[in-house]
Structure 1
């Protein structure tokens, strides 16, 4: 039941991947079909980010109020409405409304899916199953990129195919939600003790002994909740109280490092980077490398631990940036021309591989584990908002930085990633093998 429930929830991440990857390979088909100007298509492509930010900041409070399952239903319904608006669009306005709706659903899914998976899984599987979300996103993004690599496949990626194909995971999710239980910890938080026990029993199996796990959630969780009952409902400003500061710094700090280390600039402009390095290489290979390595990272996160994985692969991020910077330095100064393309490909692929298994997936795992139950909605929404703002900022500034200095850009990213490793060593708490309740006890002690 845990695997089936995770599969249903991860269908939300399918929407995440298809929404993010939709606009690039379909641009020519949409512009030709609807006669859009460059400005109109730019609005269509970029308005997704605004929807995501709104969904990120509101998804947490909604999940706390109506539950994880209903939040996924709401996000799915908006994605369905958005894709239908895009499918039936006859002009720019309908496209933009549909894109905004799917973006909002993306923002909600980016928070609620990892939180829900973390709350339903046993502690020994939590990291791996939460990281599956990232692999699913990358797979769907890669599938859409594939459509642009041959004429007939690109025709399949036109605006009349992808919206309909993207309705399938929404249907699976909406149907599957009738058969999976609500998060036991959310039920515990809202005081529904009988439903809590029934949900936990369903997840662990009808013959499983849940007494020990239920007692841990009840004794540590309920007592903690009781101390929070007199407190007013959490707001953004409450996140900066001393009692929450450690978890907020860890969760938000990892999201800042994840994005400002340069991933979105590098991945969005991989082809441009290879062209600049005098080599046009298939970014498709880098996309599927992400999928494969992320899957490997998901298998290791519960064995190696969160911090060791971040530190070992953080070294790969720094080295990848330095090698890429060296390739551009040689190109700018007309040195060792034969080595330039080899260094560029090696550096970029090393960076992407290290990011996919480490900083790409692990911060979402930690974010789903680190926040106390009473601020999880607000704090998770805030961390997700910071993540998406960082994604926009890096994507927006990347070309300006490359114009300033190609090798300087990658040296800057190397410094940021090295700083991130120091942050992981000094601030981040290891959550491997601990229940969510044990994590809160450890944070409060520190």
Structure 2
């Protein structure tokens, strides 16, 4: 098919988004049948995921240095560490609206701007007020990224690669967290804040060279732009007619429905999709991951294990196991990996609970460090292989495009609220009972297994339109 090389893109006055900055260059590669553009586009998008992870990982290695330099109390630093989730919740509320109005690329630009501003404010901070303002700004950007990146990747990826490519969102997130844990032991807290500017710089530059989401363009009525974007993503020699027709037919079906409102999310035709995603988000967060992650150093210290060695092992394990999960998701499927992860989370929680119980009872105290670290690593590895990435993959797959903005915002908001609740209560729970905390997490993860068995469908190898048809039939 012929593709126009000089077209103004956008459907509303004031919206002029070029499909790519140098379209001729991309098309020349596409004519040779290179599907590399899908991988390149995914790489650019997941720089947002890396930024997300850098924000999460920042507070753990910098606690002592920031408190000392700025003379912060523990309560002031705790506010700084946790307030990022409030910024992220605001970002989650607005993310769907922004991504639907100015596009997935536009939303990533907005998110990047907030992150850049936030890191610079943190870098120049001389007291707790500016420090908190910067943290809220980066949190807002993280909240938008957490929604728009997996949605964008799911909308541009071929169905046989969608799971693996979307899982790269989580892989980059944990990689950034791990890097922050490690280099935070070497760099000053101000220098570590400046490293947060690197992924946003790569993302902002890369956005000039990648296409917009074809499905978003189709939804906005840009037929030529939609077909051009899809052709670039699939390669010049690829026959996109069937995929394009399937997407257009689905969009036309949605257009015949009334314009969705927030309460429409709870109508019968959307309720199952909402239940699946919200349930997975709640299970992901209330199972304890952010408590374990945010306070890994103090947990290792309480167990009597070296905090430096523990955090390095933790960091490396996250990266490796998340990579394994990305390789397996389109082969093993979403549901089997979720179930495997669920059983591992229960086992890891129980092992850690036993270790802290032995310490409290002063029985076999010498075995406590090794047993506690083993439990934490089983827990982290299990989360990384399934429960970390797959809820975001499912969110990007299951919702129809006409409600994806509102439903995705709600799911992301609940996820961030759960993250705050878990991270805020962790220290209180550990003060109440160290082993009781992990028994509680084991029980919640056992409930998650039951939810996955009964409610969650398999989406492997299906187009987005096929998934939504199967769920709502």
* Smaller-chain TM-score bracket: over 0.9
Q: CA deviation at 1:130?
A: 0.8
What is the aligned partner in structure 2 of residue 107 from structure 1?
143
2:314 and 2:380 in contact (8 A); partners too: yes
Of residues 194, 205, 211, the one that matches 1:181 is: 211
What is the aligned partner in structure 1 of residue 456 from structure 2?
428
What is the aligned partner in structure 1 of residue 259 from structure 2?
232
Partner Cα distance (2:79, 2:348) in 1: 33
Partner Cα distance (2:398, 2:358) in 1: 44
How many aligned residue pairs are there?
435
What is the aligned partner in structure 1 of residue 57 from structure 2?
21
What is the aligned partner in structure 2 of residue 270 from structure 1?
296
1:189 and 1:225 in contact (8 A); partners too: no
1:173-215 CA-to-partner distances (Å, cap 9, x unmatched) read 1111111111011111111111110000011112211112112
Partner Cα distance (1:330, 1:345) in 2: 14
Change in Cα spacing, 1:345 to 1:38, as seen in structure 2 (3 Å) is closer
Partner Cα distance (1:44, 1:395) in 2: 12
Q: CA deviation at 1:38?
A: 4.8
1:291-344 CA-to-partner distances (Å, cap 9, x unmatched) read 110011011001000001111221111111122222222222233333333321
Of residues 360, 381, 386, the one that matches 1:353 is: 381
Report matched runs for 1:359-370 at 5 Å: 359-370=387-398
What is the aligned partner in structure 1 of residue 103 from structure 2?
67
2:179 and 2:315 in contact (8 A); partners too: no
Partner Cα distance (2:333, 2:132) in 1: 42
What is the aligned partner in structure 2 of residue 330 from structure 1?
358
What is the aligned partner in structure 1 of residue 188 from structure 2?
157
What is the aligned partner in structure 2 of residue 442 from structure 1?
470
2:82 and 2:423 in contact (8 A); partners too: no
1:120-168 CA-to-partner distances (Å, cap 9, x unmatched) read 000111111111111111111111111343xxx1xx2331x23332222
Q: CA deviation at 1:40?
A: 4.4
1:24 and 1:145 in contact (8 A); partners too: yes
> In structure 2, the residue corresponding to 1:132 is in which secondary structure?
helix
1:144 and 1:157 in contact (8 A); partners too: no
Change in Cα spacing, 1:38 to 1:332, as seen in structure 2 (3 Å) is closer
Partner Cα distance (1:232, 1:209) in 2: 32
2:399 equivalent to 1:371: yes
Change in Cα spacing, 1:24 to 1:414, as seen in structure 2 (3 Å) is closer
Report matched runs for 1:294-309 at 5 Å: 294-309=322-337
What is the aligned partner in structure 1 of residue 117 from structure 2?
81
> In structure 2, the residue corresponding to 1:335 is in which secondary structure?
coil
Which blocks of at least 5 consecutive residues in structure 1 are unaligned?
A: none
Comparing 91-100 with 33-42, greater Cα deviation is found at 33-42
What is the aligned partner in structure 1 of residue 91 from structure 2?
55
Q: CA deviation at 1:33?
A: 4.4
Of residues 186, 190, 194, the one that matches 2:224 is: 194
Partner Cα distance (1:341, 1:398) in 2: 20
What is the aligned partner in structure 2 of residue 95 from structure 1?
131
1:370 and 1:436 in contact (8 A); partners too: yes
What is the aligned partner in structure 1 of residue 412 from structure 2?
384
Partner Cα distance (1:40, 1:424) in 2: 39
Q: What TM-score results when the alignment is normalised by the length of structure 1?
A: 0.93
> In structure 2, the residue corresponding to 1:67 is in which secondary structure?
helix
Q: CA deviation at 1:279?
A: 3.1
What is the aligned partner in structure 1 of residue 23 from structure 2?
none
